Amino acid sequence: MLITSFIPLWISILFVVFADNRQTDGSTLRAIVENGNIQTYFSLILVCVVLFSTTCVVLFLLSSCKQNRISGVGKITHARKSTTLATDFLLTYIMPLIAFDFTRNRDIALFLIYFALIAFLNIRNGNVYTNILFEVMGYKIFSCDIERKVAGKKYDVPSCVIISKKDLVGQVGQDFSYFDFNNDTYLHLQTPKEKR
C-alpha cells in the first residue's frame, strides 16, 4: 500500500526523466531504453515496482471482498472522514520533486536513501495515507473510535484507520465487519446484510 500511495510522485518522476531525456536529443522511448543510462534503468525498475504493487493491492482488495475474510466484528463509536492525512502527505510528494534532480545519478541515489527512510518510518509506525488507487476503487479512509470484541471481551480502540466504501460517519453505533491489518488499521468488509 505504501508504494501505491506515492503514485502521483512516481508519475511525476517518470514524466521528468522522460521529458528531460527526450528534450536533450529528441529520441523516442525505444531509443532512450536502448541507449540506457542510470535514469532509464531507475525508471524501468520504478514502472515494474509500481505495476506489481498496484496489482497486488487490487487483487487483495477484490479477493478480500469476494471471499469475505472477516477477522472480526466491531462497533463504531465515533467516525470522521480523514482529511488531514491528505494534506500532510502532499508534502511528501512535493519535497522530492523540489529537492532532487532525477536526471542526475547522485540525486537518484539520495532519493533512494530518502525514500528508504520514509518507507521504514511509515511501515514501522503503521501509517496509512489517502491513496489515489483507493479513491479510484471507491474506498475512503476514516479515522474512527471503535469497540472490538476479542475472546468475548470488549476493547475500545481509539483513533484507528478504517478503509471503507461506505460512509462510516453515518454508521456510528452500528456493527461492522472488518479485516484486521494490524491493531489500528482495518478494511471494512461489507457483508450481504450491510450492503442492503
Is 44 in a helix, a strand, or coil?
A: helix
Q: What mean pLDDT do residues 76-96 have?
A: 71
For residues 90 and 80, which has the higher predicted lDDT (pLDDT)?
80
- Give residue 192's pLDDT: 46
Please report which confidence band the pLDDT of residue 95 belongs to, taking 50, 70 and 90 as the band edges.
confident
Domain range summary for the chain, segments of one domain joined by +? 1-67+83-129, 70-82+138-196
Highest mean pLDDT among 21-25, 74-78, 95-99, 178-182: 74-78
Instruction: Please give the sequence-ordered ranges of beta strands (E in DSSP) within the chain, or none if there are none.
Output: 72-81, 140-150, 153-164, 175-182, 185-188
70-82+138-196: CATH topology is OB fold (Dihydrolipoamide Acetyltransferase, E2P) (2.40.50)
- Give residue 50's pLDDT: 92
Q: Please state, in angstroms and as integers, the Cα–Cα distance from residue 139 to each residue in 3, 4, 53, 144, following that order.
A: 17, 14, 17, 15
Q: What mean pLDDT do residues 126-135 have?
A: 73
Please report which confidence band the pLDDT of residue 196 belongs to, taking 50, 70 and 90 as the band edges.
very low
Q: d(Cα 187, Cα 161) in Å, to the nearest integer? A: 9
pTM, two decimals, is 0.74
Please report which confidence band the pLDDT of residue 156 belongs to, taking 50, 70 and 90 as the band edges.
confident
For residues 100 and 49, which has the higher predicted lDDT (pLDDT)?
49
